[in-house]
Structure 1
Amino acid sequence: MKFLLGAMIAWLVAQALKHGARLFGRNRRIFGTDTRAKLFLSGGMPSAHSATVTALTAMIGYYEGCDSAVFALSVLFSAVVMYDAMMVRFSSGEQGDLLNKLLKEQKSKLGQIRIAHGHRPIEVIAGAVVGLVVAGVVILATHYL
């Protein structure tokens, strides 16, 4: 249960940081439907995907050992998730933006397509840092509670 708890807290912290940045950033439309719709969308700083898998991997490494098979599997899983966030989803987001621009220019009746944006490397790194910090806090909390 502690593994799942750590991963879920990391996701929540990353999402809270992301929306906190939107609240105090240039785009202050935080309380509109725009933000509620974006709560579960991908993209932005920090990466919640990276935070989640990094927290899970760190906790597995601590509790199960870094030489365990489950830790090795978790490291590979994390690498795939982070690579996908940076490369595959980022590229598909750029392509979606271009398609929406073309649809708008052509005055298409199809409307805009929904785009799942990926992450820049710094967003993935920031998410990993969030995941490590959350894992450390959860590990310490489970020892003292």
Structure 2
Amino acid sequence: MMIFENFPLICSLAAIIFTQALKYPIAIFSKDKKTSLSIVTTTGGMPSSHSAAVSSLITALILQYGIGSGYVAIATTFGVIVMFDSMGVRRQSGEQGIVLIDAIKELTRLSLKFPKNEQELIAEEAEEKIYPEEMAVKKYLGHKPSEVFVGLLTGIFVTFIVRLFYEQI
């Protein structure tokens, strides 16, 4: 099949899948009481699958075309942007999400002090009900530098493992 001939693509996809699957045991090991299996489909957390994907792509391209290749230059530029973005803009968005969730909880708590008819008026003005528990998942948008670094190492590791399978074929 054509897709299996694309070593860099297979490496990147394998890195994403492996890293996402790795999030659950890491979360359990860290004794996060709110851990559920849904963590494997969310963004953020340890390790960064974004970093794993781009570092795997870069490593595969280096192995296939050499470090001086234009493909490696493009992928490295893309990878640096992805990793910085996951620590910067996306991380800040996640932290703002935490603040918004706290504000919503506080407003909900304060609205309970109003008489029943005013509570109904407040509820009618809202476009939809807000469930802070469901929104809590959204706070994990970005990554800490350690999560990006472990993702980078994971991507390199996965590339060499995939390469072992390619050598057997």
Range of TM-score over shorter length: 0.7 to 0.9
Structure 1 residue 117, shift from structure 2 partner: 2.0
Q: Deviations over 1:19-78 (max 9, x none)?
A: 111233313555xxx432x32211111101100110011001110121111110000000
Question: 5+ unaligned residues in a row in structure 1: which ranges?
Answer: none
Aligned partners of 2:69, 2:7: CA distance in 1, in Å?
Answer: 18
TM-score, with structure 2 as normaliser: 0.76
Match of residue 65 from structure 1: 66
User: Of residues 17, 24, 27 in structure 1, which corresponds to 2:22?
Assistant: 17
User: Of residues 11, 18, 37 in structure 2, which corresponds to 1:35?
Assistant: 37
Number of aligned residues = 141
Question: 5+ unaligned residues in a row in structure 2: which ranges?
Answer: 1-5, 112-122, 124-128
Kept in 2: contact 1:86–1:121 (CA 8 A): yes
Aligned partners of 2:25, 2:17: CA distance in 1, in Å?
Answer: 12
Aligned partners of 1:20, 1:83: CA distance in 2, in Å?
Answer: 26
1:81 aligns with 2:86: no
Q: Provide the aligned C-alpha RMSD in A.
A: 1.8
SS of the counterpart of 1:106?
Answer: helix
Measured at CA, do residues 96 and 29 of structure 1 come closer, stay the same or move farther in structure 2, by a change above 3 Å? closer
Percent identical among aligned pairs is 33
